[in-house]
Amino acid sequence: MSGFQGTKINPTKFHRSQLKFYVVLVPLAVFMGLPIVYIFSTAFKPLDEMFAFPPQFFVRRPTMDNFKNIIGMMSGSNVPFSRYLFNSIASSLVVVVCTVLMCLCAGYVLSKKEFKGKKLLFAINTLALMFVAEAVKIPRYLVMEKAHLLNHFVSLVLPLIAMPVGLFLVKQFIDQMPDALIEAARIDGASDFRILFRIVAPIVKPSMVTVAILAFQTAWNTADAATLYVNSDSMKTFAFYMTALTTQNGNNVAGQGMSAAAALILFVPNLIIFICMQSKVLNTMAHSGIK
């Protein structure tokens, strides 16, 4: 027993017993980071390296020509580039706020309220996780058309607000809260809205951050809303503009470099947000399934 005294199961500082974890985790981390490195590397490749055979993973002579070509194409557009960027930022922020609020309110009701059809509604939400975006494009378009919401700013937001996976994560997080905490607040005279925003929201903050990241990625990267529901060029989003720009020039050699640069431009905001909020995401994934 003396040989084990003074040794912690999980030391706070580096210990030689942790080497076995580094042997497994470091190669795995390198492998998982390769796609990110490839996106950055390809965006700065000159055309001769991009079409070299055998293909080269790392760029040898970095160049900014791909980005310069995108800027050159932007200058010939009838709509200023800043307009596309503003539409994307504005619609993404509105989608994030509305999605987080909807998931928080619906998760609280489905978790802590008792009413008829509660299990059925949550089962429908769980079933919705099985449907890919392509399967609901036509029903969404019909709903938007019948509601006379085509070619409005709302059409960039409304189809993206519903997020079944976000509701699932928030609801699972709220399930872990003791009912006694909510009952005590209700006895003290707190209303449902006060309980929701003063007690529930701070506790489930990691899941809300995760939902916000997923909502932002969906709104920022997708061009479906701008393609299907908007006709005016002044209401198109940045993702649509990048997709259209690379599609129109994707058949020529220079278009491949522009596609790689556009992919990097769309990817960087997602990467920055995830790096800043990764601790909240990991916390959500670790606790979302615990009852």
Average pLDDT over residues 89-106: 92
Q: How many C-beta atoms surround the C-beta of residue 154 within 10 A? A: 15
pLDDT at position 100 is: 93
Dist. CA 162–CA 143, nearest whole Å = 14
* C-alpha dihedral (100, 101, 104, 105), degrees to nearest 10: -160
pLDDT digits (tens, 9 = 90+) for 249-280: 555 666 777 788 888 888 888 888 878 777 66
User: Nearest Cα to 113, choosing from 42, 174, 158?
Assistant: 174
pLDDT at position 254 is: 61
pLDDT digits (tens, 9 = 90+) for 199-224: 888 888 888 888 898 899 888 888 88
Handedness of CA 143, 147, 150, 154 (dihedral sign): negative
Model confidence pTM above 0.85: no
User: Nearest Cα to 103, choosing from 185, 206, 198?
Assistant: 206
CATH topology of domain 78-287: MetI-like fold (1.10.3720)
Dist. CA 196–CA 188, nearest whole Å = 14
pLDDT digits (tens, 9 = 90+) for 166-205: 898 888 888 888 888 888 888 888 888 888 888 888 888 8
